[in-house]
Amino acid sequence: MRDDDAALDIVQDAMLKLAEKYAAKPPQELPMLFQRILQNTIHDHFRRQKVRSTWTTLLSAFGQKEDKDEEYDPLETLPARSDSNSPDPAQRHQQAEIVALVEQALARLPARQREAFLLRYWEELDVAETATAMGCSEGSVKTHCSRAVHALAEMLKAKGVSL
């Protein structure tokens, strides 16, 4: 894992799943069950990490050329959400406008690209699950997603949306 905290979280999650679902199993079956649960939990962690890093990579296209380095994270450029229950109305309005622009851009995508994009990045399905849902090959899903991301980035840049 290369991260002790993440490894500890994964082991703890796996142990909780084992205790919740298999408490009634005989003790001699538990080690094999734990190994399988641990492997699945590790795979889930890497899948989530891949999706997060994909978004970070895609969003980094919005950054300035001189600002980019290996540690650049465009999400860190966003202001932190305040703890107050009533956010600034101007800020709320600006966020609503950006959401509307993103929705418009999504609506302008071809149907297959929009479907692939929403299944992969909003529903967080993996490539195989998306391909099954769309009734196409995994390569087609990757192509549709790539084209959708590039088209969305260009449409949003044209509307002046930058991070």
pLDDT digits (tens, 9 = 90+) for 72-81: 555 566 666 5
- 112 and 161 in a single domain? The answer is yes
What gap in Å lies between CA 2 and CA 29, rounded to an integer?
Answer: 29
With beta carbons less than 8 A apart as the criterion, state whether 33 and 18 touch.
Answer: yes
In a domain, 41, yes or no: yes
- 107 and 156 in a single domain? The answer is yes
Q: Which of 45, 60, 75 marks a domain boundary?
A: 60
Q: Check residue 120 and report its DSSP letter.
A: I
- In this predicted structure, what is the pLDDT of residue 86? 57
| Total number of domains constituting the chain | 2
Q: Which residue has the tokens 């997060």?
A: 52
With beta carbons less than 8 A apart as the criterion, state whether 128 and 136 touch.
Answer: no
In a domain, 72, yes or no: no
In a domain, 145, yes or no: yes
- 104 and 163 in a single domain? The answer is yes
Whether this model's pTM surpasses 0.85: no
| Mean pLDDT within 94-119 | 88
- 104 and 160 in a single domain? The answer is yes
Q: Which of 32, 60, 88 marks a domain boundary?
A: 60
Those residues with Cβ within 8 angstroms of residue 107's Cβ, 6 or more apart along the chain or in another chain: 114
In a domain, 75, yes or no: no
In a domain, 160, yes or no: yes
Domain that holds residue 130: 100-163
In a domain, 122, yes or no: yes
- 53 and 1 in a single domain? The answer is yes
- In this predicted structure, what is the pLDDT of residue 139? 93
What gap in Å lies between CA 70 and CA 68, rounded to an integer?
Answer: 7
The mean of the pLDDT values for the chain is 82
The enclosing domain of 139 has a CATH number of 1.10.10.10
Those residues with Cβ within 8 angstroms of residue 20's Cβ, 6 or more apart along the chain or in another chain: none
Cα 17–chain centre separation: 23
What gap in Å lies between CA 123 and CA 50, rounded to an integer?
Answer: 14
- In this predicted structure, what is the pLDDT of residue 91? 82
For residue range 9-37, what is the model confidence (pLDDT) as tens digits?
999 999 999 999 998 999 998 999 999 99
In a domain, 26, yes or no: yes
pLDDT grade for 156, boundaries at 50, 70 and 90:
confident
In a domain, 51, yes or no: yes
